[in-house]
Structure 1
Amino acid sequence: MRGPDPDPIPYERFLPWKRWVEAGFWLAMIGGNCIANSITVLMEFRRGGSAIPAWEPMVWEASSALVWLLAILPGMAWFTRRHPFRWGGWGRQLLRYLAASAVVCVVHVLGMVALRSAAYASQGVDYDFGPWPRELLYEYLKDIRSFAYIVLTMEAYRALLRGWRGEASLLTEPEEGPPLEPVERPERFLVRKLGREFLVAAADIQWLQAAGNYVNLRVRGHDYPLRSTIAGIQERLDPRRFARIHRSYIVALDQVASIEPLDTGDARIHLKDGGVLPCSRRHRQDLRGRIDGGEA
């Protein structure tokens, strides 16, 4: 075991570019697929002797690509963060993902038909999607494959980021002999980063933030995701050191510099390192009492 990695710089340098890299990846993938499919479809029509205008295959593919980029991908990013894929519990997961794929297909079809209809109208002609039951089934058989590919890509990317940043886990009981420290109220967390492991002291945690099915541990200015709920990890933390201040936040009491009341009844928590966290009115008085009472 070793102390926290002293050089998290590569990951931190990537963060300002993260959204651009993600957007560029999907734009390249879906845009490239759009261009390739447009050319392929046009070539097939030309080879069959059809005199179809070149703009029609371009409209078909571009309308589909736009719906994926502007509507479906943001929704899938939210969905996969809210319901990340896990090994086990296949029945419920399969039903949830199948339902999501059906929603994706409906959104895709309605969006691209609307765009195609508008494009055709601008050319003075009508767009005919065909018999809806048959065409909807046809599109779903294609969309479910795209849906699965995107889910796997997003999960693989997030796993890569967690490995690069470092992912925390609770220490478990050894297979033989008693544990060296309490497991129910851990004093340290195990962090795995790029194939290496080190321990983080619970006393070094500045605050915790809920993020879907993860809780980010803020340790010395760096975040380490822990697969847990905020309520689940709260039960494992020492209540003399930590306080719940919001449905999404827990703070270390010794990190609180001041409490700024707001007109809404909520508050802002100013930390000793200059950071600011939200505090809901539900937790404000309890936190003030604990700080004033010297429980930290």
Structure 2
Amino acid sequence: MASAPEEQFSSQLFDAPQLPARNQVVQVQRLGLVEYVPTWQLQEALMDATLAIKSQNRLAETTGAAPVPTPNHLLLCEHPHTYTLGKSGKPEHLLLDEAALLAHEASFHRINRGGDITYHGPGQLVGYPIVDLDNFRPDIHWYLRTLEEVVIRTLADYGLNAGRIVGLTGVWLGWEAGAPNPRKICALGVKCSRWVTLHGFALNVNPDLTYFGHIVPCGITDKAVTSLAQELGGGAAVSVTEVQERLLPHLLELLGAQPAASNTY
């Protein structure tokens, strides 16, 4: 059988749809202590803008227009006392009624991430990566394990041997098989739409751990919750800002990302 002419083969290559260049730059925003709902709305707006670009790029394949790279964002913050319930969570895992929430100066929100109920509050470092995994690796399991590894390496900087427990998303102390006191130090909960991520991780630096006593954290009844300050002991003063700046380089390295030129760390 005769082979296709070289000219015909070459034209077919040029007719192939263009793909947007992978953008591995991350815009980092350090928000400080911020209310939960406006921060959730900001995440949604950033995700919607990225999804709109991806839709435009699909259209560009048919019109011949050049595709546009999608952005990546990272929000780092703390929240006032807040309980959030994921799509698969059980409302009864919140052990406070409306009057008790008010007495504890806490709010409660049903949200669109995976997972059950969790707590956010002052002294907890919360990270919300709104990234297009098509820019890095379109694999949600890799992404979750990467976020866990970021926290594990950050805690190693403080001399703590953190790890994973099979079947339980998040980061733990006392995670080794047979350890007598497994305790969770970081919760994860994400949503992913067309490989664009929402929500993220919550690392307990020095929060008031009594607030976890008002929920069944992540639906887990037989394991404790801890913090970096509690694990270090001796009244160690560890600030959220300090941990944030230690964590950020690990996150960028493990994602294979770089900060925007306007960001410093």
TM exceeds 0.5?
Answer: no
TM-score in terms of structure 1 length: 0.24
Task: Mark the structure with the bigger radius of gyration.
Answer: 1
TM-score in terms of structure 2 length: 0.26
Q: Could you say which structure has the higher strand fraction?
A: 2
Q: Could you say which structure has the higher helix fraction?
A: 1
